[in-house]
Amino acid sequence: MVIGILALLTGRTGEIITISVFGALTLYIIAMISVLKLREKEPALHRPFKVPFYPVFPIVALVIASFSFVAMAFYNEMLALIYFLLLGLSFAVFKIVKKYNS
């Protein structure tokens, strides 16, 4: 909540929302790739939910999300750079914490 309030006080909420959309699109892309890979690797696995019209819907969703991500990066170069820097920094922190907790 504190981070959200500080973000609002910057007066750049539009840019913050755009960066969060980069994150959402990244998660959509990872989710669709995961669905496709898991179905390929474990076809007999019990699934309580079946994706309608598999594999068409996941592939269409993957293409749309990928196209959207590229278009956003093209039209928001600086925000895409900030997003990738935040992603890289988060990954570095994860690796450091994982190393010290092992």
Position 59 pLDDT exceeds 90: yes
* Per-residue pLDDT tens over the stretch 63-73: 999 999 999 99
Helices (H), the chain: 2-9, 13-41, 56-75, 77-101
The rounded mean pLDDT for the chain is 92
* Per-residue pLDDT tens over the stretch 11-55: 888 888 899 999 999 999 999 999 999 999 998 888 888 888 999
- Tell me, what's the pLDDT at 56? 96
Between the CA of residue 49 and those of 39, 40, 46, 52, what are the distances in Å?
A: 12, 16, 9, 9
Tokens 């539009």 label which residue? 14
- Tell me, what's the pLDDT at 69? 98
Spell out a b/e string for 80-101, using b for 16 or more CB atoms within 10 Å of the CB, else e: bebbeeeeeeeeeeeeeeeeee
Instruction: Give mean pLDDT, residues 8-12.
Output: 83
| Predicted structure pTM score | 0.84
